[in-house]
Amino acid sequence: MVAEQAVLGGMLLDQDQIDRVAAQLTAADFYRPVHQTIYAAILDLHQAGNPTDALAVAAHLGTARLVKVGGAPYLHTLISSVPTAANAGYYARIVAEQAVLRRLDEAGTRIVQLADAAARRGLDLADAVHRARWALWAAVERHAQLTGNGTTRRPEYDAGHADGRRAAQEEMAAAAAPLASLLHMQLDGAA
């Protein structure tokens, strides 16, 4: 969370850092909801061509939202936590990497839940695998964006084309193998 504070503090100190940070982060990359709110306010102001200092952000948030994020004193804490605004891009990279790790953790948890649902509550295996692929795809896609490796192929196919359907079925079968093993272990343990 220190990196999140450093990113926001750098943005509040130096408007030139905003585009550099925005190229790496979305509001959802921040762990703390208050940081998501502050980040979105800074971007709103910047995109409108307005100042993005602590006073402007406080006014933009309004009284109710300002109180929810910790008030004007918290905005000033963000500023005072940064030795130099020039490192905002470096800290943004840390925040983005931590966001990918959280998404992977969430995907892993979701996959375990899906395996349990298939093993114990009769969720269709193909449906479980499809949902697991989507959960993992979200984390992998964010990592691809972060590293500049382009986007990954979404786990879906065009049902109107036999070649696409066949390729997707082969992909699903390959992806299902490790999950099927996990499901069988869960089933064996439940018996």
Packing angle, helices 162-190 and 88-121, rounded to 10: 70
Other beta carbons less than 10 A from residue 49's beta carbon? 6
Distances 131 to 72, 135, 141, 170 between C-alpha atoms, Å: 42, 6, 15, 16
Same-domain check for residues 102 and 139: yes
Same-domain check for residues 29 and 91: yes
CA distance 97 to 36: 16
Same-domain check for residues 108 and 178: yes
Same-domain check for residues 162 and 182: yes
Q: How confident is the model at residue 151 (pLDDT cuts 50, 70, 90)?
A: low
For the chain, what percent of residues have pLDDT higher than 70?
77
Same-domain check for residues 9 and 63: yes
Instruction: Taking residues 128-141, report their average pLDDT.
Output: 84
Q: Which of 87, 72, 80, 115 is nearest to 20 (CA)?
A: 87
Domain end, chosen from 95, 122, 139, is at 95
Instruction: Taking residues 44-60, report their average pLDDT.
Output: 97
pLDDT value, residue 136: 87
- Segments forming the whole domain that contains residue 183: 97-190
Sign for the CA dihedral angle at 168, 170, 172, 174 comes to negative
Same-domain check for residues 185 and 121: yes
Same-domain check for residues 102 and 170: yes
The 10s digit of each residue's pLDDT in 160-184 is: 444 444 444 455 455 545 555 554 5
The 10s digit of each residue's pLDDT in 13-34 is: 999 999 999 999 999 999 999 9
Domain end, chosen from 95, 126, 155, is at 95
Same-domain check for residues 137 and 71: no
Same-domain check for residues 6 and 86: yes
Same-domain check for residues 91 and 114: no
Same-domain check for residues 84 and 121: no
Domain end, chosen from 43, 62, 95, is at 95
Q: Which residue has the tokens 């395996």?
A: 115
3-state secondary structure of 155: coil
CATH number of the domain where residue 28 is located: 1.10.860.10
Average pLDDT score, the chain: 83
pLDDT value, residue 138: 78
For the chain, what percent of residues have pLDDT higher than 90?
53
pLDDT value, residue 159: 44
For residue 76, pLDDT over 90 is answered with yes
C-beta separation of 27 from 39 below 8 A: yes
CA distance 27 to 40: 6
Q: Which residue has the tokens 């602590």?
A: 54
Helix and strand counts by DSSP (H, E) for the chain: 8, 0
Same-domain check for residues 125 and 159: yes
Instruction: Taking residues 149-167, report their average pLDDT.
Output: 51
Per the structure, how many domains does the chain have? 2
Q: How confident is the model at residue 145 (pLDDT cuts 50, 70, 90)?
A: confident
